[in-house]
Amino acid sequence: MAATGGDVKLLGFWASPFVMRVKIALNLKSEGYESLDEVLGTKSELLLKSNPVYKMIPVLIHEGKPICESMVIVEYVDEVWAGPGPSIVPSDPTDRAVARFWATYIDDKLPSAVRTIIGVLKGNKAEAVEQIAAMLPLLEEAFKIYSKGKDFFGGDTIGYLDIALGSCLGWIRAVEKIVGVKLLDEEVVPLLVGWSKRFCVDGAVISVMPKADDLVEFSKAL
């Protein structure tokens, strides 16, 4: 589908890694958008109208039509603005399936562990830290296989899986500060550490990646 431009709004919140995914995708495509931040603890009328099922951010509103769920939106952005910028979703069916598998794995494990550690969810915080620590070597091996020696999971440029995991880097660093444990350890996951540095300084990311210290302070407010 060719790029259509038009009115683009993003309902979100600065600390949400899921919202960050959409921002990165739009930045990769050099597509301008209006960012509409929700107020913490409330749900705007526009959000409730745009996402009546889950009532959650992010929501991309393109020419008045809402699109929900972060990785669904990432795929939508890649398809609608196919011309500008690099392709985000792998074109090869096998690569695409693998990327979706790992993105689902990340979403199944990482957000709940972070929420447990910062106290939003009830649970054993030590076990949540161990869960993240156990994830990273698996993702290190996935990077080794699927990057094929290049800078990103997506190859030479940031792709689908880079966005899925990279959007969580701010919170991983915040957790490190909160619990005093180094999770992205160069001695354990050197490839991921190198990848994380490249990801965070990329032009599509650097302006939207929240600082770990700000997330630590935000977690105290929660």
110 and 167 housed in the same domain: yes
What pLDDT is recorded for position 221? 86
Question: Does residue 89 carry a pLDDT above 80?
Answer: yes
Please identify which residue in the block is written with the tokens 């050197």: 190
Q: Residue 86: inside a domain, yes or no? A: no
Last residue of a domain, one of 80, 104, 120: 80
Last residue of a domain, one of 80, 115, 130: 80
Q: Residue 110: inside a domain, yes or no? A: yes
Instruction: Read off the pLDDT of each residue in 183-202 and give the average, rounded to a whole number.
Output: 98
What pLDDT is recorded for position 16? 97
Average pLDDT, the chain: 95
Residue type, 133: A
73 and 160 housed in the same domain: no
What pLDDT is recorded for position 5? 55
Q: Residue 144: inside a domain, yes or no? A: yes
Q: Residue 178: inside a domain, yes or no? A: yes
Structure tokens, 173? 């660093």
DSSP string for residues in the chain: -------EEEEE-TT-HHHHHHHHHHHHTT---EEEEPPTT---HHHHHH-TTT--S-EEEETTEEEESHHHHHHHHHHHT-SSS---S-SSHHHHHHHHHHHHHHHHHHHHHHHHHTTSS-S-HHHHHHHHHHHHHHHHHHHHHHSTTSSBTTBSS--HHHHHHHTTHHHHHHHHHHHT--SS-TTT-HHHHHHHHHHHHSTTTTTTPPPHHHHHHHHHH-
107 and 193 housed in the same domain: yes
Q: What is the CATH number of the domain that holds 58?
A: 3.40.30.10
pLDDT band at 3 (very low <50, low <70, confident <90, very high): very low
Q: How far apart are CA 209 and CA 205, in angstroms?
A: 6
The tally of domains found in the chain comes to 2
57 and 97 housed in the same domain: no
What are the pLDDT digits (tens) for 162-176? 999 999 999 999 999
Q: Residue 1: inside a domain, yes or no? A: no
C-alpha R_g of the chain: 17
Residue 212: phi, psi to the nearest 5?
-60, -40
Q: Which domain holds residue 110?
A: 93-221
What are the pLDDT digits (tens) for 126-142? 999 999 999 999 999 99
Q: Residue 193: inside a domain, yes or no? A: yes
Q: Residue 24: inside a domain, yes or no? A: yes
Last residue of a domain, one of 29, 56, 80: 80
Residue (of 177, 171, 170) closest to 199 by Cα position: 170
214 and 157 housed in the same domain: yes
What are the pLDDT digits (tens) for 22-76? 999 999 999 999 999 999 889 999 999 999 999 999 999 999 999 999 999 999 9
The answer to whether 23 touches 88, Cβ cutoff 8 Å, is no
Instruction: Read off the pLDDT of each residue in 84-113 and give the average, rounded to a whole number.
Output: 96
Q: What is the CATH number of the domain that holds 99?
A: 1.20.1050.10
pLDDT band at 20 (very low <50, low <70, confident <90, very high): very high
59 and 19 housed in the same domain: yes
Residue (of 114, 198, 186, 122) closest to 157 by Cα position: 198
146 and 209 housed in the same domain: yes
| 34 DSSP β-pair partners | 9
What pLDDT is recorded for position 222? 80
CB atoms within 10 A of CB 56: 16
75 and 147 housed in the same domain: no
Instruction: Read off the pLDDT of each residue in 182-201 and give the average, rounded to a whole number.
Output: 98
pLDDT band at 217 (very low <50, low <70, confident <90, very high): very high
% of the chain surpassing 70 pLDDT: 98
109 and 184 housed in the same domain: yes
Q: Residue 46: inside a domain, yes or no? A: yes
